Structure 1
């Protein structure tokens, strides 16, 4: 059993699903901050389940990225569909968000 003070093992992968609502975003950012206190490395967001990306998806990813940066940390985004990459490119965030 892991002691409460020991950091979580890397990598920590957090799967974001297709049912994301704008009202969920502040809570996601709060949970990320708690997780960042418990892990030393990068938190990876797996977005492969997001089949119909929209403005809420982009907003969530941008805010999660910003929340991590404000704490001097970073996230990684994996599993982005071509549609999500195209949407991020259209909005101008494809080079800002850490896509893998």
Structure 2
């Protein structure tokens, strides 16, 4: 069997602004905030796929779908596999697993 090569790069901590989530109707704000996190990480880290941790997702949804946080501090780990780059995004205070 062929083994998949996984190479992990450094961990970056960034603050992602979620202000644009407040420009959409109230019931869609938390969904928009999750999309903004994905788009921000893809744009700034040039990755193919973004995986959001459960803790970050729960933090965005914690104040209901109508009032997501204005900004969120996250840590981004980039894993390079054979031909793709994957970013794992989690809350900055959390230890990456």
Question: After TM superposition, is the score higher than 0.5?
Answer: no
TM-score of the superposed pair, with normalisation by structure 1:
0.29
Structure (1/2) with the larger strand percentage: 2
Higher helix proportion, which one?
Answer: 1
Larger Rg: 2
TM-score scaled to structure 2, two decimals? 0.29
